[in-house]
């Protein structure tokens, strides 16, 4: 059994939450359960339902986002231009969507202000939030829009939101990319059980210097959690009404986490792309892996299809969504050009981590 040497720069969960040097801050007056699925992490960490801070080691935060539910009424600006219930004005950093309800006392709305500033505001009313969460609605949930805004703002600061798990071993970060339910989480758990430090389970932030910032509070463990019959029935009923899953846990909340250290950041040393197939391990073809990773990013993230963000870009006239897609592609290419990338294949989820261990022991 491999036992990795612990990195002395790691931090405990409590110390991580108390970090005073955040990469970004989110303020909200609504719990993440009511907002919907939020990919970048739970908004209820550290016993506080109002704020999440992500550590990065930067000397000042890059930006703040206020995600506010209000009972105030909102009407489109008198001079506003409109496009299928989306409203805005040229050269103003704001855009809104109004969802009319025929038999309700008030229409639903969501308002995005100051997307390109250091303090962005996402404001909405309960009518919009409830309808957006509903399975029958075609609207993005508030949490989905919040996540898309985060991706855009992080890209502006040269941070890639990369769909991957991540562990730190001997001061180096290793990313595991692949389709959902391929084996990223299982491989992460196995490596942590042997002494690796936890960084991320679903999304990792990678900057141009190839430094990885962990997002340890993403809640994607619901499919792996054993549930009783009553809870399964409740979950089934819940998920016929709402878009998000019923039972969600962060890795920190599961039985797999027993007080291990969390590494907030580390230099990137390698990337592993996991896929199902005959057992094998080989260096990835750079051209093919770029295509695979970009396609995977497009499957996982929806910012390029978010109409509120597209409307904001249109009215602001500052940039296009293709600028952000191109920035994302540049950062992915820089990553695979900077560190070794290995293609790991296994017929099931249990076969990846021994092959990952073998590559790490040989190359690092």
* 331 found inside a domain: yes
- Note whether 339 and 213 are within 8 A (CB): no
| pLDDT of amino acid 127 | 94
* 208 found inside a domain: yes
Q: Rounded to the nearest 5°, which phi and psi values hold at 62?
A: -75, -40
14's tokens = 């409590």
Q: How far is CA 9 from CA 186, 242, 260, in A?
A: 25, 41, 13
Domain holding 315, by residue range, is 13-363
Q: Helix/strand/coil (H, E, C) string of 197-244? A: EEEECCEEEEECCCEEEECCCCECCHHHCCCCHHHHHHHHHHHHHECC
- With both helix axes pointing from N to C terminus, report the angle between 184-193 and 352-363 in degrees, rounded to the nearest 10: 60
* 292 found inside a domain: yes
pTM over 0.95: no
Q: Rounded to the nearest 5°, which phi and psi values hold at 291?
A: -60, -45
* 5 found inside a domain: no
| pLDDT of amino acid 251 | 66
* 95 found inside a domain: yes
* 151 found inside a domain: yes
348's tokens = 């099931």
Query: How many folded domains does the chain comprise?
Result: 1
DSSP letter for 250, please.
B
| pLDDT of amino acid 246 | 54
Task: Return the bridge partners of 250, or none.
Answer: 219
Three-class SS of residue 5?
coil
* 1 found inside a domain: no
* 64 found inside a domain: yes
- pLDDT tens, position by position, for the chain (364 residues)? 344 333 333 333 333 444 445 688 888 888 766 776 666 765 543 333 334 444 444 456 788 899 999 998 888 888 899 999 999 999 889 999 999 988 778 899 999 999 999 999 999 999 999 999 998 899 999 989 999 999 999 999 999 999 999 999 999 999 999 998 899 989 998 999 888 999 988 899 999 999 999 888 776 665 445 667 777 777 667 677 777 665 566 666 666 666 667 888 899 999 999 999 999 999 999 999 999 999 999 999 999 999 999 999 999 988 999 999 999 999 999 999 999 999 999 999 999 999 999 999 998 7
Q: 230: buried, middle or exposed (CB in 10 Å: 19+, 13-18, 0-12)?
A: exposed
- Calpha distance 18→44 (Å, rounded): 14
Residue keyed to tokens 């970090």: 19
302's tokens = 């929806």
Three-class SS of residue 40?
coil
């Amino acid at each position: 059994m491999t036992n990795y040497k612990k990195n002395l720069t790691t931090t405990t969960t409590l110390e991580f939450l108390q970090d005073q040097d955040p990469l970004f801050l989110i303020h909200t007056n609504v719990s993440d359960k009511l907002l919907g699925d939020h990919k970048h992490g739970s908004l209820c960490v550290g016993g506080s339902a109002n704020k999440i801070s992500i550590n990065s080691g930067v000397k000042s935060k890059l930006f703040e986002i206020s995600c506010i539910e209000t009972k105030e009424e909102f009407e489109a600006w008198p001079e506003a231009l409109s496009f299928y219930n989306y409203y805005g004005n040229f050269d103003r950093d704001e855009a809104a969507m109004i969802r009319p309800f025929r038999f309700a006392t008030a229409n639903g709305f969501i308002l995005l202000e100051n997307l390109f500033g250091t303090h962005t505001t996402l404001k909405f009313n309960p009518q919009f939030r409830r309808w957006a969460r509903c399975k029958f609605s075609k609207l993005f949930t508030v949490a989905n829009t919040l996540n898309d805004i985060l991706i855009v703002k992080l890209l502006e600061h040269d941070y890639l939101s990369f769909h991957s798990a991540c562990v730190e071993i001997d001061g180096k970060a290793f990313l595991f990319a692949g389709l959902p339910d391929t084996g990223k989480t299982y491989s992460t758990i196995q490596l942590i059980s042997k002494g690796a430090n936890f960084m991320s389970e679903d999304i990792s932030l990678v900057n141009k210097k190839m430094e990885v910032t962990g997002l340890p509070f993403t809640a994607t463990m619901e499919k792996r959690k054993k549930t009783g019959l009553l809870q399964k029935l409740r979950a089934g009923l819940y998920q016929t009404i709402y878009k998000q899953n019923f039972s969600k846990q962060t890795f920190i909340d599961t039985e797999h986490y027993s007080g291990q250290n969390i590494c907030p950041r580390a230099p990137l040393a390698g990337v592993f792309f996991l896929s199902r197939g005959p057992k094998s391990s080989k260096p990835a073809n750079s051209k093919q892996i770029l295509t695979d990773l970009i396609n995977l990013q497009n499957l996982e993230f929806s910012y390029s299809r978010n109409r509120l963000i597209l409307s904001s870009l249109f009215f602001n006239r500052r940039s296009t969504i293709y600028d952000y897609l191109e920035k994302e592609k540049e950062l992915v290419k820089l990553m695979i050009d900077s560190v070794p990338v290995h293609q790991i294949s296994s017929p099931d989820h249990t076969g990846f981590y021994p092959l990952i261990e073998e590559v790490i022991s040989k190359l690092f």
